[in-house]
Amino acid sequence: MRSRIAKVHSARILFSPSESKPREGNVLAEDQIVQITPSAPGLTLPRAVSPQVVPEGAELDHPALYFNRELGWLDFNWRVLHQARDPRVPLLERVRFLAIAASNLDEFFQKRVGGLKRQEAAGVITLSRDGRQPADQLLLIRDAVLVMHRALSESWSGELKPLLRSEAGVMVSDYSELSGTQQAALRDFFRDHIYPVLTPLAVDPGHPFPFISNLSLSLAVVLRHPARDTLHFARVKVPTNTGRWLKVPESQHRFHFVPLEQVIRSSAEELFRGMELVSIHTFRFTRNADVGRGDDDEAEDLLALMSGELRERRFAPGVRLEVESDMPEQLRQLLLRELELGPEDVYESEGLLALSDCAELADLDLPKHRYTPWEPVVPEPFLHEGETEEEQNVFAIIRRGEILVHHPYDSFTASVQRLLEEAAGDPQVVAIKQTLYRTSENSPIVNALVRAAERGKQVAVLVEVSARFDEANNIGWAEVLEDAGVHVTYGVVGLKTHSKVTLIVRYEEGRPRTYCHVGTGNYHGRTARLYSDLGLLTCDREIGADLVNLFHFLTGYAPDQQYSRLVVAPREMRRTFEELIRREVEIQCEYGNGLIIAKLNALDDAGIIQELYRASQAGVRVDLIIRGHSRLRPGLPGYSENIRVRSILGRFLEHDRIFYFHNGGEPKIFIGSADWRQRNLNERVEAMVPVNNPALQRRLIGILDQAMADNRLAWELQPDGHYIQCHPAPGEPEINFQEQLMQSALERTQRGTQLWGTELS
């Protein structure tokens, strides 16, 4: 039985005072604005815009058949924010989800709003797939974010902050609420620890308006000169070295904090002795991260090009100004003028700014209010390494049969990391090649590559220096690797390398043998405990040969490289997926059992969407598990009535990509790094690997079936764009997809059952 999907309509989110009623063309009609009700397990979330009505007989490229990508992203962030309002989620985890939603919105402004503003400034009039110009989309975003911005603030001040106090004993006080003794102690702390760090910056003919760094929290200070009776402006940047939350001294509570900027505000007179303090208000400035890179084809040095882009981004134009709601209009106008922003770029807050800093509070030592700790299990094939001659090392284990690892249920450290570390020290290994898109601080993977190079092995690494927001980190790792003698390349001209692959060449019985890892996620030990990702460990000779060819393409000149098993973008991935979808249409027409199930992060490629529409029109059942945004409109009569789209959000970030084509009972299943997005199929080097082992296929199909059966973490996308939370029908058990996978991982280990296939020749 399919789960009941419950709609709950409750108290509506109100517009801010300046938006007391929807403006003409406002995308959030009053009857669509729905409060995220914490007591309701099933509900309809706000939808950023009602889509157009599909005209009768519309062609598959008609704008009404597509959701807007940017607004679809905001829909995703509503689902994240709901986790902060859901009482079934542990309290500190709710605080963490609030911080994630706020951080997501920061990134949205830097990347998506920044990109649209660049297009608008350049006079771009090209329509989005849903028929909107950049200026139109910016207006829609403005209206949608006003509601989300207020919901974030109210979620903190009206719900989570009081709950922290009443349920967890965590006090987050305003400075004005503290006792005189506590305030005096904080003033002493200010003089000793904060005052020496601050740099007040005045604005006058001798002092130009100061540089405001991206996402920094600042105080706008208005001062009066007593003798001259003149007004002056100064900016004070809130430092980050002490953290956002200062512990309140002389408190009876174990966890009692006050925001740092309020402590600075309370003692601001000490920064401007001899001046009269007129007003002081907090503000926050966001810069565009979508700066123009220039032409890769014209660049002589990609590393220098990216270093230049990082410098340019530091001084990029602004895209958002967040202010306290009681900031005087004259002061706002000064900031807008100096920061070169318009009134449409201002977002007011009744409470604290920079709620992403709540992540610090989510890390408090209060286990009762966090998820039950999960320790990834050692995959069964690796449990007995070294106990027998057949399992003497990781290479012998892989020779016994292909291994599918699913993080964070299966341990990354005990599988992928172990493979790299053993390869680094194995005298029979002669070469290691790997792509690095993102990795962690003090990365064990990088350390293993360095050790391998120091021991004389040939090590080649493609470090993608254009990975957004990780450019500086990746440039640093590239330099470390080069210093160790690793052959480092920085990407393919005109393409971003997003594939997640490792190739190890080992001499056995007088000839080289390849060992491979093809995955869906980054070689990042920390996120491997938080993101769900899949990886295939194999010594299949054809896959190994394909990876040899792929690395020759990545590090040298081989644009026409051929692959027998691997599916590589941009060369052949689009064509392969189109052929697989069309094959299901043929099977449906002949046998009536066409079926496609795909799990991915986002869907926005118009070509793939049109193929899926055609499949649905032919009667093929299409189930899509898409964590983020989808431009495809499911459930439209005559177009997509056979397509379901659901999104799963829980304690782990769903990041794996699985593509299952029923193929008349002879499944075609792939995992890899690519989503069905235009950028993945056309603008990136991506790699998908087929999974042909029947046991591993059954495991992947089981994951997809469990995802489609979930009635606790899942949301279903409606034809009008609303997402509705799934909820068990009366008498039906709750099915939590991620908890099921944790339990399955434990059972596999406890049983010690061989689930990994037969030995490869």
Flag whether pLDDT at 295 surpasses 80.
Answer: no
Classify 4-163 by CATH class: mainly alpha
pLDDT band per the 50, 70, 90 thresholds, residue 308:
low
Place of tokens 């706020």: 102
Which token pair is 474? 């990746």
Q: Which residues pair with 66 in a beta bridge?
A: 632
The pLDDT value given to residue 575: 98
| Mean pLDDT of all residues in 508-537 | 96
The predicted structure's pLDDT at residue 301: 54
Lowest mean pLDDT among 231-240, 311-320, 501-510, 735-744: 311-320
The pLDDT confidence band at residue 305, using thresholds 50, 70 and 90, is low
* Residue 192 burial (CB count, 10 A): 9
Percent of the chain with pLDDT over 70: 87
User: Measured between alpha carbons, how far is 24 from 17 in angstroms, rounded to an integer?
Assistant: 16
pTM: 0.90
**Residue 622 token pair:** 């299409």
4-163 and 569-751 agree in CATH topology: no
Q: Taking Cα atoms as reference points, which of 243, 271, 280, 253 lies closest to residue 179?
A: 253
Instruction: For residues 384 and 381, give the distance between their C-alpha atoms in angstroms, rounded to a whole number.
Output: 7
Confidence at residue 472, expressed as pLDDT on a 0 to 100 scale: 75
Q: What's the pLDDT score for residue 5? A: 36
Domain 569-751 sits in CATH at 3.30.870.10
Residues facing residue 672 across a β-bridge: 688
Question: Residue 437 CA to chain centroid, in angstroms?
Answer: 14
CA atoms of 604 and 72, how far apart (whole Å): 10
Question: Who has greater pLDDT, 760 or 488?
Answer: 488
Does pLDDT of 759 surpass 60?
no
The residue with tokens 């062609």 is: 59
Residue carrying the six token digits 């419950």 = 6
Instruction: Tell me: pLDDT of 613 over 90.
Output: yes
Q: How many CA atoms lie within 13 A of 472 on its CB side?
A: 7
Domain locations along the chain: 4-163, 380-564, 569-751
**pLDDT exceeds cutoff 80 at 73:** yes
For 502-550, give the DSSP string: EEEEEEETTEEEEEEEEESS-S-TTGGGTEEEEEEEE--HHHHHHHHHH
| Active site members | 498
- Cβ(596)–Cβ(662) below 8 Å: yes
Q: Which residues pair with 404 in a beta bridge?
A: 536
pLDDT of 292 above 70: no
Q: For the segment 146-162, what is each residue's pLDDT rounded down to a tens digit?
A: 999 999 999 999 999 99
Q: What pLDDT does residue 473 have?
A: 79
Q: What is the DSSP string of 571-621?
A: TTHHHHHHHHHHHHHHHHHHHS--EEEEEES-B--HHHHHHHHHHHHTT-E
For residue 536, CA distances in Å to 403, 418, 502 come to 6, 14, 10
How far does Cα 526 stand from its chain's mean position?
Answer: 14
pLDDT higher than threshold 80 for residue 390: no
The yes-or-no verdict on residue 356 having pLDDT over 80 is yes
Find the mean pLDDT for residues 17-45: 37
Helical spans, DSSP H, in 190-301: 260-266
d(CA 457, CA 423): 10
The string of pLDDT tens digits covering residues 563-611 is 999 999 999 999 999 999 999 999 999 999 999 999 999 999 999 999 9
Mean pLDDT of 443-466: 92
* pLDDT tens for each residue of 680-723: 999 999 999 999 999 999 999 999 999 999 999 999 999 999 99
Q: How many C-beta atoms lie closer than 10 Å to residue 427's C-beta? A: 10
Name which of 645, 473, 472, 673 is nearest 570 in CA terms.
Answer: 673
User: Tokens standing for 598?
Assistant: 């795909």
Query: Which residues sit opposite 225 in a β-bridge?
Result: 230
Closest CA to 355 of 320, 322, 314, 319: 322
Burial class of residue 12, CB neighbours in 10 A (0-12, 13-18, 19+): middle
pLDDT of residue 750: 81
Cβ-based burial of 300 (10 A; exposed 0-12, middle 13-18, buried ≥19): exposed
| Cα 524 from Cα 67, distance rounded (Å) | 33
Q: For residues 113-125, give the mean pLDDT.
A: 92
| β-bridge mates for residue 685, sequence order | 497
> Contact 530/412 with Cβ under 8 angstroms?
no
The one-letter amino acid code at 372 reads T
Question: What pLDDT score does 306 carry?
Answer: 53
The pLDDT tens digits of the residues spanning 181-226 come to: 999 999 999 999 999 999 999 887 667 899 999 999 999 999 999 9
CB 307, CB 274: distance < 8 Å: no
pLDDT at residue 205 in the model? 66
Class in CATH terms, 380-564:
alpha beta
Tokens 């992403």 label which residue?
356
